[in-house]
Amino acid sequence: MVKTRLPNGLTVVSEHLSHAESVSLGVWVRAGSRDECSRLSGISHFTEHMVFKGTHRRTAEEISAEAEGLGCDLNAFTDKEYTCYYTRALPEYTAGVLDIIADMLTDPMLSESDAANEKGVVIDEIRGVADVPEDLIIDETASLFFGSNRLGQSVAGSEKTVSAFTPDDVRRCMASRYRTENIVVAAAGKVDHHNLVALAEKLFAPAEGESEKRTFDEFGPVLDEKIIRKDVERAQFTLTVPAYPVGNNRRYALAILDTVLGGSSSSRLFTEVREKRGLAYSVGSYGTAFADCGTFTIYGGTAKDKVEEAVSLCKDCARDICGGVTEKEADRAKNLLRAGILMSGENSEARMNRIARSEIYNLRHVPQEESIERLMVVTTDDVRAVAEDLLGGERYAKVVITGK
C-alpha cells in the first residue's frame, strides 16, 4: 500500500495488484449521519443522492452515459461515519472516471426541481425500510441502544427531516464536510500511484474557510427493551451490548467469538436455536465498530409465539460462551476467518475498501499477512476474556418487532 498526502490536505492511497486487469476506485468523504443535527438527520445521504443529479458541466443523463461509455457504473453509499463514491474500471479509463466523480463532488448543480424530485425517491426508500422488518430492526436497534447519541440516527433520516431539506442545506453540508482534508481517494488493482496522485491534485482544489471538525457525543448505551408491533408474519429480535471501536486490538478475539457464537453454520446459536429446536430460520451475531465505540448484536427471526423462547435460548448460549470456547471451535473459526481474509484479498474492491477505511479512521494499514498472524495467535483464554467483557453482564438492549 502506498500513501500520499497532498498539500491541499487530500489523501491518496493505492495498492497495486499484479494479477488485476482492472481498478477499483473510491472517493471517500468523512461525512455521515453522526455528523448531523436532529433537524438535518439524513442530509449526508440526501447529498449523496443529489450530486448524481447533474453538475454545471454534465446533466444526470450525461453522467450515466459518460461513465457507461468508459465501461463502468458509478455507485455510492452513505454510512454513519463516511460516504463513498465508487466504481470499477479498466486502467485506461481511470482518469475519465475520477474526473466525473470529482466534478460531481466539487461542482454539483443542486437545483430546486432536482431536490423536490429526490425527496420523493428518498422518502420512498425510507418507507421501503419500514416495510421490511429485517431492515427496520437495524435502525430501531441503533435508535434504542445509542439513545440521544447521533449514532442512533437513521442514515436516511426521517420523512419529516427529508421533506424539509433545501439545496442550501446540501450546499452547507458539502461546504463543511466535502473538503480535501476530509477526502480519501483510494484505488486497488492495476493502478499507477503517481498518476493517481497527479490526477487527484488536479481535480480536487482546497476549499475556502474553516473545516468543521467531527465531534463525538457522550456514549452511554441504553440497555433497555423496545417492542414494536406491526402487521408481520414473523417476529424479529436483537440483543445488543457495547463492544470495541475500530482498530481495537481485541477485534481478533472478538472475530473468533462472533464466529463461534453466531457467525457460521456450525455456530452455537445456529446449532441450538435452529438445528436442535427449530425456533428460527435466521439466527446469528455480528459486530459493528465506529471511531469511538462499537456494538455486538445477537439477532434472529422466528414465529411470533416463539419470540421469548428464542430470546431466552440465545441468552443461554451467550451465558455459556462466557465459560470459554474449545480449542476445536477456536481452530475452526480461525480457519474460516483466515480463508475469508485471503479470499477477499483476491478482490480489488475489498482491498480498496480495506485501505480506504484504515485511512478514514487514521489507522495504520494492517497488511493481510499481519492480520492473519495476529488472528492465529489468539488463545481460547483471549476469547473467553472478551466474552466475559461483552456478555458477562447479561444485560442487553432488546428490540422485538412482532405482530399486532
β-sheet with 225-230: strand ranges across: 225-230, 397-403, 234-243, 294-303, 280-289
Maximum separation of any 2 CA atoms in the chain, in Å: 62
d(CA 241, CA 397): 7
- 8 A C-beta contact, residue 20 and residue 174: no
- 8 A C-beta contact, residue 25 and residue 86: yes
Nearest to 118 by CA among 29, 42, 26, 27: 42
Nearest to 300 by CA among 285, 278, 316, 318: 285
The x, y and z cell numbers of residue 298, run together, are 445477537
List of E strands, 144-204: 183-189
- 8 A C-beta contact, residue 316 and residue 298: no
Q: Would you give the DSSP letter of residue 20?
A: -
From the number of C-beta atoms within 10 Å of its C-beta (0-12, 13-18, 19+), residue 344 rates as middle
d(CA 372, CA 256): 12
Nearest to 14 by CA among 199, 186, 200, 198: 186
Angle between helices 43-50 and 112-130 (to 10 degrees): 120
Measured between its terminal Cα atoms, the distance across the chain in Å is 53
Instruction: Give the type of residue at 3.
Output: K
Q: How many CA atoms lie within 13 A of 250 on its CB side?
A: 21
- 8 A C-beta contact, residue 382 and residue 327: no
Q: Catalytic residue at 48?
A: yes
| From 15, 36, 48, 359, the catalytic residue | 48
Which DSSP string do the residues of 63-122 spell out, in sequence order? Answer: HHHHHHHTT---EEEE-SS-EEEEEEE-GGGHHHHHHHHHHHHHSB---HHHHHHHHHHH
d(CA 331, CA 348): 28
Q: Active-site residues: which are they?
A: 48
